[in-house]
Amino acid sequence: MDILAKVRNVPDFPKPGIQFKDITTLLADGEAFREVMDGLERRYEFAGLTHVVGIESRGFIFGAALADRLGIGFVPVRKKGKLPADTIECSYALEYGEATVELHRDALDAQSRVVVIDDLLATGGTLKAACELVTQLGAQIEEIWVLIELSFIPGRAKLEGFKVHAEAVVDSE
């Protein structure tokens, strides 16, 4: 399946010059979503994972579905202030400011083997912050999985030392 053919491009969102990759069209196509999830399940079913770590918010969709299919735990990485118990946090730079993500302090430990999931790899800031939180708790990251990578933005460079898999790659704007 051509994943990019199932994703809608929205020009000038959220600001002029940005070509937003809207995955809701893929999610609304039951057959396409199932095909993505079948591939995810095949990729990780024998990986010995204990948890799937999903990044707010679209990483929750793929991550929770994968955790259910594998019969393992799902751990959310959320924006600051959204998790109710004791958390650890990591901040990262945005184009205009800073953002912070959090993870429950007791979500993972040194026996945890995880895949970190998000929908898109662009600048890599959110994924890098999430991985820092996971490793801070002692967990082993087997791989980072994204649906789409914008390879013309050097986000993968921020994830040096981690294995990264993208289902689809966009090479140019």
Catalytic residue numbers? 58, 95
Q: Report the alpha-carbon distance of residue 170 to residue 53 in Å, rounded.
A: 24
Q: Report the alpha-carbon distance of residue 17 to residue 157 in Å, rounded.
A: 23
Query: Is the separation of the CB atoms in 141 and 135 below 8 Å?
Result: yes
Q: Report the alpha-carbon distance of residue 38 to residue 32 in Å, rounded.
A: 10
Query: Is the separation of the CB atoms in 67 and 40 below 8 Å?
Result: no
DSSP result, 54-88: EETTHHHHHHHHHHHHHT-EEEEEEETT---S-EE
In this structure, what are the phi and psi dihedrals at residue 36, rounded to the nearest 5 degrees? -60, -45
Q: Side-chain half-sphere of 75: how many Cα atoms within 13 Å? A: 28
Q: Report the alpha-carbon distance of residue 133 to residue 128 in Å, rounded.
A: 9
